[in-house]
Amino acid sequence: MNSITFEEYLGRYGTLTYKNVGVSMLPLIRQGRDAFILRAVKPGETLKKWDVVLYKRPPDAYVLHRIIDVKDGTYDILGDNCVAVERNIPKERVIGVMTGFIRKNKEYAVADKRYRIYVTLRCKPYHVRTAFKRIWMLIKRVGRTVLKSFAK
């Protein structure tokens, strides 16, 4: 079987529509239900804060996450459902930028007003969201520990 990489596909066709795998972009994109639409990143192009990008994480993982900070030649990137920021991702590792997504067979562009509202309410206050999520994860961990101690 002849496989093709995301880089090769985007280089050949310019755009890609692909079903999401994983939960890191919840609630925007759900695994098995939604798809994302990418365009190839132009050589030398600097992307913007809040763009959703497909990048290659060594050695062979491809990750769809959001840019939360643009620095000189690098990006800080975070999934919408994640708490750990990946810092200083070289822009050369970014191969595609999301132009839209498909949810329940309906296509939405990143310029869509509803998407922009989502970015404003869900993504821009990521410091608050990740802090609450870390606290919630701690509460769950402590709760499980307490329940296990009572079960003994």
Domain assignment present for residue 41? The answer is yes
On the question of pLDDT at 95 being above 60, the answer is yes
Output the pLDDT for position 2: 66
Assign 143 a pLDDT band (cuts: 50, 70, 90): confident
Partners of residue 98 on adjacent β-strands: 38
Q: For residues 103 and 122, what is the distance between their CA atoms, to the nearest angstrom?
A: 18
CATH of residue 85's domain is 2.10.109.10
Domain enclosing residue 106, as ranges: 6-151
pLDDT digits 0-9 by tens, 15-39: 999 998 999 999 999 999 999 999 9
Domain assignment present for residue 1? The answer is no
On the question of pLDDT at 98 being above 90, the answer is yes
Q: Number of folded domains in the chain?
A: 1
Assign 66 a pLDDT band (cuts: 50, 70, 90): very high
- Is residue 16 a contact partner of residue 6, using CB atoms and an 8 Å limit? yes
Instruction: Of 52, 55, 51, 21, give the one whose Cα is nearest residue 35.
Output: 21
On the question of pLDDT at 116 being above 80, the answer is yes
Domain assignment present for residue 26? The answer is yes
Domain assignment present for residue 46? The answer is yes
On the question of pLDDT at 1 being above 70, the answer is no
Output the pLDDT for position 65: 98
* pTM for the model: 0.90
Residues 6+ apart with CB under 8 A from 40: 10, 11, 14, 15, 95, 96
Output the pLDDT for position 149: 82
